[in-house]
């Protein structure tokens, strides 16, 4: 028979990664590589089947999918018994002749996001399909879903990565509808039209207008646990960086009581480690670009005080917010009882060490500082992080529109200034995600790189090799044994086998490109 509404995601999106979400970045790597560094083999230890009950109902699910589940039920269009959030490997148990909508949440379905593009595919380090793209294709083309479509069900795909899907790709994969944008208000209307209206002409790509996005009090409360215990505290950003979709959306902060409700739901389902999610958690509660210290401290204090919460983490924090608000960082660290081995990892964006590119593409990013101060702002934030047991996982953008050799060299100099701060730094190819984003000439990470890009790759490799062992050791302590084993193997292979080959390759390519460009080698004194 089946459920009328089935919500799911592929294995890479639904996974818990042994309790360590940062391991999820491995799925952006190519499926095949050298025998001693095979992501596919490592994923066999980490990418286990997501947990479910005896009916195929997911124990945890992506935060966005949980919002859509709640929105459908709150709308009254369907009852709780008519909707299931299911794990992908048990779809045959929940999809049947009564199924009318199969909703799939995606993050990077075609491997076109910055991390996947850098590591995999036609522009990446290794020209092979990314693991996440493979698992998405495997999900939507499987016989259970395609049989349901023949019986009248609609396959609807949405989520942060929906922008990647074109009409041609939809036809190739057997997708009926793609929904781009925040769907909590729109999706129930779509389901109502499918269930009780005249249906919808397919294939269809529906771009939800920002005016149809939910306000902060319209974001539905969770009804089930999320992967990684992720609880959204804010949505949007407002800084307007020209390459970033979230910064172009209006900023909304959820009420503290709603956040606490979602934390308690996670705890009740066994998720005792909570990850507070926002583009910049330090700006929670503020509708200006300044940090509201009292609201941020109250947020962390009340979440940490929820009975059953074991630990509290964050997804993202802005370096400028940290540099301007040392006291806030210090008090959060005290609340969370951080120390040198129990630290707070977070994602953040350096993007470039060039004040010129900061001014051109993201002039509000350094606020309350000036674009000309950006390198100093970054180092100050890293220093504050080190003093308070915060560990940045920072991105750099390669091939920003208008990038010059001087811009990249300034980024090299900044990376070398950060050598002594515990952190990871990741260079990612520029990807214009969606309509309206400024375009740049496509660049292959290796083949099209200039000598100055290889200077950057060398500096980043040296930095990460300095820190990866200690970070992997500390971070994997609470992981599933299989995940801990996989990361231990990966780090040791990189240190003992890959490093020698990588250093030789980078040096050879750098010298070859310098000779080709007929330039004087860039001279600088490395950090000791």
For 389, half-sphere exposure in the C-beta direction (CA atoms, 13 angstrom radius) is 17
In a domain, 19, yes or no: yes
Residue 108 CA to its chain's centroid (Å):
9
198 and 286 housed in the same domain = no
- In sequence order, what DSSP letters do the residues of 444-509 get, joined into one string? -TTTT--HHHHHHHHHHHHHHHHHHHHHHHHHGGGS-HHHHHHHHHHHHHIIIIIHHHHHHHHHHH
Q: Among all chains, which residue has been given the structure tokens 């036609």?
A: 122
How far apart CA 196 and CA 189 sit, in angstroms, is 10
202 shares a domain with 240: no
pLDDT at 528: 39
Contacts of 272 (CB under 8 A, 6+ apart): 229, 266, 308, 309, 310, 311
pLDDT at 523: 47
pLDDT digits (tens, 9 = 90+) for 193-218: 999 988 799 999 999 999 999 999 99
Which residues, listed in sequence order, are joined to residue 179 by a DSSP beta bridge? 158, 206
Range of the domain at 281: 221-316
Domain contains 485: no
Q: Which residues contact 470 (CB under 8 A, 6 or more apart)?
A: 422
Give the residue from 212, 243, 278 where a domain finishes.
212
Q: What is the DSSP string of 271-316?
A: --EEEEE-S-GGGTT-SSSS--HHHHHHHHHHHHHSTT--EEEESB
CB of 443 closer than 8 Å to CB of 452 = no
Backbone angles phi, psi at 52, to 5 degrees: -150, 165
Q: Residue 497 to residues 35, 460, 508: CA-CA distances in angstroms?
A: 11, 18, 18
- Evaluate whether residue 103 is within a structural domain: yes
Q: Are residues 174 and 291 in the same domain?
A: no
pLDDT of 436: 54
**What pLDDT does 525 receive?**
44
* Residue 522: predicted pLDDT: 52
- Cα dihedral sign, 505-508-510-512: negative
Phi, psi of 208 (to 5 degrees): -75, 130
CA-closest candidate to residue 346, choices 304, 384, 377: 384
In a domain, 146, yes or no: yes
Residues 6+ apart with CB under 8 A from 88: 8, 9, 10, 11, 14, 50, 139
Which of 403, 384, 404 lies closest to 392, judged by CA? 384
| DSSP string of 384-450, one letter each residue | HHHHTTEEEEEEEEES-TT--HHHHHHHHHHHHHTTTSS-EEEEEE----STTPPP-----TTTT--
Q: Are residues 90 and 239 in the same domain?
A: no
Buried b (16+ CB within 10 A) or exposed e, 347-362: bbbbbbbbbbbbebbb
Q: What is the pLDDT of residue 38?
A: 65
Alpha carbons 54 and 287: distance in angstroms, whole number = 45
Show the tokens assigned to 194: 């499918």
Which of the 8 DSSP states describes residue 61?
A: E
Token pair, residue 97, equals: 């002749």
Tokens of 273: 């480690």
Q: Which residues of 52-72 are buried (b: 16+ CB within 10 A; e: fewer)?
A: beeebbbbbbbbbbbbbbbbb
Pair 97, 239 in one domain? no
Which residues of the chain have a pLDDT value below 70?
Answer: 34-40, 242-248, 433-438, 519-528
Judgement on whether residues 56 and 162 belong to the same structural domain of the protein: yes
CB neighbours of residue 260 within 10 Å: 16
Same-domain status, 22 and 161: yes
Pair 252, 167 in one domain = no
Residues 102 and 135 in one domain: yes
Omega prior to 73 cis, within 30 of 0? no
- Closest C-alpha to 495, from 458, 465, 462, 461: 465
Gap between the Cα atoms of 470 and 421, Å rounded: 12
Note the pLDDT of residue 496: 85
Identify the H or E element spanning 85.
strand 83-85
Whether residue 497 lies inside any domain: the answer is no
Choose the final residue of a domain: 299, 316, 333.
316
Check whether residue 71 and residue 142 sit in a common domain: yes
Is 407 part of any domain? no
| Number of domains making up the chain | 2
Q: How far is CA 125 from CA 34, 81, 98, in A?
A: 12, 46, 45
In a domain, 122, yes or no: yes
Residues 308 and 241 in one domain: yes
Q: Are residues 178 and 259 in the same domain?
A: no
Query: Which pLDDT score is estimated for 494?
Result: 87
Question: Is 412 part of any domain?
Answer: no
DSSP string, 247-259: GGSPPEE--HHHH
Last residue of a domain, one of 193, 212, 231: 212
According to the model, what pLDDT value does residue 18 have?
73
CATH number at residue 299: 3.30.750.210
Q: What is the pLDDT, as a whole number, of residue 237? A: 84
């Amino acid at each position: 028979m089946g459920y009328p509404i089935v919500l799911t995601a592929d294995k890479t999106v639904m996974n818990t990664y042994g309790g360590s979400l940062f391991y999820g970045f491995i799925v952006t790597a190519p499926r095949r590589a050298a025998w001693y560094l095979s992501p596919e083999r490592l994923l066999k230890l980490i990418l286990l089947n997501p947990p479910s009950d005896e009916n195929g109902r997911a124990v945890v699910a992506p935060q966005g999918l949980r919002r859509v589940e709640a929105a459908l039920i709150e709308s009254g269009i369907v009852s709780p018994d008519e909707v299931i959030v299911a794990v992908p490997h048990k779809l045959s148990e929940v999809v049947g002749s009564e199924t009318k909508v199969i909703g799939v949440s995606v993050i990077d379905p075609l491997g076109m996001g910055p991390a996947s593009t850098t590591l995999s595919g036609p522009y990446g380090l290794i020209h092979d399909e990314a693991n996440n793209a493979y698992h998405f294709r495997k999900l939507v083309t499987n016989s259970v879903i395609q049989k349901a479509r023949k019986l009248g069900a609609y396959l609807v795909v949405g989520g942060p990565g929906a922008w990647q899907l074109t009409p041609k790709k939809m036809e190739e994969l057997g997708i009926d509808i793609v929904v781009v944008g925040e769907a909590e208000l729109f999706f129930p209307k779509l389901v109502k039209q499918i269930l009780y209206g005249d249906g919808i002409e397919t294939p269809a790509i529906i771009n939800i207008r920002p005016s149809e996005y939910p306000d902060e009090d319209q974001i539905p409360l969770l009804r089930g646990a999320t992967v990684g215990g992720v609880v959204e505290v804010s949505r949007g950003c407002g800084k307007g960086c020209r390459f970033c979709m979230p910064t172009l959306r209006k900023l909304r902060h959820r009420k503290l009581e709603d956040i606490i409700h979602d934390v308690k739901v996670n705890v009740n389902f066994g998720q005792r480690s909570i990850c507070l999610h926002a583009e910049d958690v330090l700006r929670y509660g503020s509708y200006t670009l300044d940090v509201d210290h009292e609201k941020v401290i109250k947020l962390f204090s009340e979440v940490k005080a929820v009975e059953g919460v074991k630990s509290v983490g964050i997804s993202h924090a802005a370096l400028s917010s940290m540099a301007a608000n040392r006291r806030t960082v210090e008090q959060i660290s005290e609340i969370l009882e951080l120390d040198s081995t129990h630290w707070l990892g977070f994602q953040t964006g350096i993007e470039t060490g060039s004040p010129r590119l900061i001014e051109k593409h993201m002039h509000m990013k350094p606020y309350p500082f000036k674009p000309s101060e950006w390198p100093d702002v970054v180092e100050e934030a890293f220093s504050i992080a080190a003093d308070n047991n915060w560990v940045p996982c920072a991105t750099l953008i390669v091939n920003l529109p208008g990038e010059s050799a001087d811009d990249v060299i300034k980024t090299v100099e900044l990376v070398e200034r950060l050598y002594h701060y515990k952190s990871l730094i990741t260079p990612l190819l520029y990807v214009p995600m969606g309509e309206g984003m400024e375009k740049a000439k496509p660049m292959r990470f290796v083949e099209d790189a200039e000598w100055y890009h290889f200077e950057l790759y060398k500096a980043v490799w040296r930095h990460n090799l300095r820190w990866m062992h200690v970070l992997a050791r500390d971070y994997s302590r609470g992981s599933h044994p299989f995940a801990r084993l996989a990361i231990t193997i990966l780090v040791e292979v990189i240190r003992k086998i890959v490093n020698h080959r990588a250093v030789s390759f980078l040096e050879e390519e750098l010298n070859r490109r310098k000779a080709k460009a007929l330039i004087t080698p860039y001279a600088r004194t490395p950090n000791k």
